[in-house]
Amino acid sequence: ENGQPHITYLQGLAGLGGPALKAIALENVRRMRQVLRPDQFIIGAAGVMAWSDVEEFEAAGASAVYLTSAYWEYGNRIFEKILLGAMKE
Residues 43, 65: contact at Cβ < 8 Å?
yes
3-state secondary structure of 80: helix
Task: Indicate the pLDDT class of residue 12, thresholds 50, 70 and 90.
Answer: low
Q: How far apart, in whole angstroms, are the C-alpha atoms of residue 47 and residue 16?
A: 11
pLDDT, average across residues 67-79: 88
Specify the pLDDT at position 3: 76
Specify the pLDDT at position 87: 83
